[in-house]
Amino acid sequence: MAKPNLSSKRIAPGAYDALVDALSVVFWNKAPFEQFLRLFLREHPELLSGLTFGGLKRQVASDLVMQLASNEARYQAVTLGLMLQVAALDDFPNLQQQADHEDLVAVALSAVAQLRKWTARYGEMAEAQEKLRADRDAEEAQNEQRRSVTRVLDEMKGSFLAMHSESDHQRRGHMFEGLLNELFFLFDLNPRKSFVLEDEQIDGAFTFSTDDYLLEAKWEKDVASREDVDVLAQKVQRKGKNTLGLFIAVAGFSEPAVRVHSNCGTGLMFMDGADLFSILEGRIPLTDVLEAKRPHVSETGLPLLLVRDILG
């Protein structure tokens, strides 16, 4: 009896999602990430031509998987091969070179483990024929949108809105901590460890362009005071000349906080809840916000430039 054609069976949405997740975290730097995909897809230049490697790794991975999924009849074998190769990774030399390699490797191992659950089903193509048949109905029922930067931001926006009704301030602080970690990681800003929580004051650091940033975030009912901002200003002044400061205050900033820290050369930038929500809505990337705020501070000495003014 002839075996059914593999290409007539569909790969489940969860398998595609797991592939996007794993591809976006097994490399930190964009150069080895691009090299890996170019080598694997060297016989499929039409797939490579549809990718913008200068963008975020997750977006590149999502765009590639969308190409594979939208023409599954043609690229199913390519997809399964890529899944198998990524799932086989157990050493991450590029991640090991980073300052926070332990955290980055842990994230990669978790993502690869999730992908491996699917390759256990799809890895052997002969055995996968029967399993893919059952997945076809599941995919038709779910018709799930592939994970992308837009989708992840939408999930984070929902979490951010839900936090406003959280009555336990300490719990909300922990939730906010996790959201900021995820947001900065999404935009390849290499957040340093988890932000340290002290009541609802969250300290952290990240790198953007050639500058290091110290970060403090505050979520309280009152606006951030001059004294709140002074703490970050003192930390920045004790660091190197390429160190800047970003203060995120969901409720905004008091007039003295803005006035005292204007035209004083502290290299501070302010972001309020509306700014953050605009980023989560996908109206403007976090990196574009930083690129606008940084020269604004240098040219005007003013730490507060709202996203609504950036967008005009």
pLDDT tens-digit series, residues 202-233: 578 888 888 889 889 899 889 999 999 998 98
Degrees to nearest 5, angle at CA 113 with 111 and 116:
115
Q: Decide: 217 and 269 in contact? Cβ < 8 Å.
A: no
Question: Is the model's pLDDT at 194 over the cut of 60?
Answer: no
Q: How far is CA 286 from CA 159, 241, 276, 304, in A?
A: 17, 23, 8, 15
The per-residue pLDDT of the chain, averaged, comes to 85
Question: Is the model's pLDDT at 280 over the cut of 70?
Answer: yes
Tokens, residue 104 = 């980055």
Counting residues of the chain whose pLDDT is more than 70, the rounded percentage is: 86
The mean per-residue pLDDT over the stretch 57-84 comes to: 93
**pTM for this model (two decimals):** 0.66
Identify the bridge partners of residue 247 per DSSP, sorted by sequence position.
216, 270
The predicted pLDDT at position 291 comes to: 93
User: What pLDDT band is residue 193 in, cutting at 50, 70 and 90?
Assistant: low
Q: Which domains does the chain have, with CATH numbers?
A: 6-147 (no CATH), 151-310 (3.40.1350.10)
Q: Is 271 helix (H, G, I), strand (E, B) or coil?
A: strand
**Residue of 287 and 205 predicted with greater confidence:** 287
Each residue's pLDDT tens digit, 109-134: 999 999 999 988 775 643 554 454 55
The predicted pLDDT at position 221 comes to: 87
Identify the bridge partners of residue 268 per DSSP, sorted by sequence position.
245
**Cβ neighbours for 132, distance < 8 A, ≥ 6 positions apart:** 6, 9, 10, 11, 122
